[in-house]
A = this chain, B = another copy of it.
């Protein structure tokens, strides 16, 4: 259950650093020998090759991979890589970088689960910094886990594991037992319930968005998934 990062340029390197800081197992693909050397100097596992080729993807065990991130500077290569990866492993989560506006929809059509346009994301971030500077700092902090270890985690309610499906939030006692805050519930049909009241009933397939410290979120994980037979990625270790 490893991750694959295609491209060890400026952005690929940053992505690898984020994965590394969260103890994610990943392997890098890059065509350029100097990029491979840079990756290995950072103590990362790196394979020299063309990520658009099935052979290269098979070399890094794409069949068993959980996620692939295509962060090449060519939109055509990102698209081809996503398409190849999804063909070899339809269950893989595919994240693509779009270098141009036109590429966003094409990458989605090729099967990318998420497409990120640095220009669009950057523009939104600039506007948000102008409009709500404190909110942006706060949100950046909780996304990176740097705000005194506060961050947001997602929990999927599986009725075969979670004893509180069909019960109310107050019965689950998430807040009083963990200290974490339930920000919102996303129902299986996509509806978002922001700031749910204590009377809200938990349903199968709900995703709970919770904010807290690593310790608080691990406690929530223990409450929602008591037997730990879980496919959830557990929250970070406390640093």
Residues of A that sit less than 8 Å from B by CB: 3, 10-15, 18-19, 22, 24, 67, 69, 71, 93, 95, 97, 101, 113-114, 116-136, 138-139, 141-144, 147-148, 150, 152-154, 179-181, 183-184, 186, 191-192, 194-195, 207, 209, 211-213, 233
Contacts and interface: CB of A to CB of B under 8 A. Distances in A.
Copies of the chain in the assembly: 2
Contacts of A13: 123
Contact of A153 (B93, B97, B132, B194): B132
A95 B194 contact: no
A126 B114 CA distance: 8
A150 B194 contact: yes
A192 B93 contact: no
Given A127-B15, A139-B139, A118 B114 contact: no
A22 to B, nearest CB: 6
Nearest to A97: B126
